[in-house]
Amino acid sequence: MSHIVIHIFLLLVMPPLLLGVIGKTKALFAGRIGPPVLQPYYDLSKLFQKGTVFSTTTTWVFRAGPVVGLATALLAGMLIPFGGHSAPVSFNGDMILFAYLFALGRFFTAAAALDTGSAFEGMGSAREVTFSCLAEPALFFGFLVLAKLSGSLSLTTMLDGAFPLGAGVAAPSLVLVAASLFIVLLVENCRIPFDDPNTHLELTMIHEVMVLDHSGPAFGMILYGAAMKLFVMGAVLLRVVAPFELGNSWYDWGLFMAGMLGLAVLIGLVESMMARFRMVFVPTFLVAACLLSAFGVILLLR
């Protein structure tokens, strides 16, 4: 029971910290001091106190966007095992619910963007739904590999690090899947090199441009939901790359948190070292991600 409480607590509290760590890493890499790691928390609390401006063209769909985005991320977080601890909710086929929850969030975020009637936001949502068309098969190929390796259909056992076929069989596929999932993680969470979370008004943006017209608490909800999505997808990737356990369940929580922070540093490093790709190359990389995990499946078919 106490582990479920810790799970929910971490899910609710830790996501903005990742953004802070990413920002700090980038700043240090560039030789700046940068904002404090807790800056995202200050931003969120400030946003939640502010007033809201609604465009006259908008309807209930515009207000539903942030709400659905946050609710789906939270529910998806309940399906993922954090570190060595099993997820609070786990059943056969929960990975499909996991993927489709994010799809529901995407539907409403994109629809809310179109609700403003602005061409900018139209562009953003068109790109978002387009790129996820290619990210989604990559994710499912990855699930196929994990399901085949672990002989299970639920995320907790898929990600528990025990592979009946043996590490020798599992390793090549897992490497491919990890690479593919990392690309999917960067695309879905608007990170460089696919998208730049720092600029708002560039015509090359995807996620940020969709939420241009949201303000105040609604915008805070969007940022919080996005951070949670990064956290949840990061937790999946972490279990694929490093399914280690220390034996003591309390140390495992510490290991998990350290792992997540390490992942944030890694993302920060990638963002510091790479420039954003031109928009036309994003689909190419996503197809590459699909192919990587498809090869992961093919390696297992014999």
Helices within 151-212 (DSSP H only): 155-158, 167-188, 207-210
- The 3-state DSSP class for residue 101 equals helix
* Identity of the residue, 16 or 225, whose beta carbon is nearer to other proteins in the bound complex: 225
Terminal-residue alpha carbon distance, the chain: 42
> Hey, is 85 helix, strand or coil?
strand
Binding-site member from 34, 35, 122, 161 for other proteins (CB under 8 A): 122
Q: Phi, psi at residue 82, to the nearest 5°?
A: -100, 115
Q: How far is the CB of 302 from other proteins (least distance, A)?
A: 9
Residue where the block lists tokens 């990600």: 159
Among 11, 229, 294, 296, interactor with other proteins by CB under 8 A: 294
**Cross-strand bridge partners of residue 85:** 82
Contacting other proteins within 23-62 (CB under 8 A): 48-57, 59, 61
The backbone torsions φ and ψ at residue 5, rounded to the nearest 5 degrees and listed phi first, read -60, -45
Minimum CB–partner distance for residue 98 and other proteins (Å): 10
Q: Which is nearer to other proteins, 129 or 266 (CB)?
A: 129
For residues 194 and 256, which CB has a smaller minimum distance to other proteins in the complex? Answer: 194
Q: Which pair of tokens denotes residue 264?
A: 């944030």
- Pick out residues in 182-201 that bind other proteins (CB under 8 A): 201
Q: How far is the CB of 175 from other proteins (least distance, A)?
A: 19
Interface of this chain with other proteins, residues 140 to 179, rule: CB under 8 A: 140-141, 143-144, 147-148, 151-153
Rule CB under 8 A: which of 200-239 touch other proteins? 201, 212-213, 216-218, 221
Question: Which two three-digit tokens encode residue 30?
Answer: 């560039």
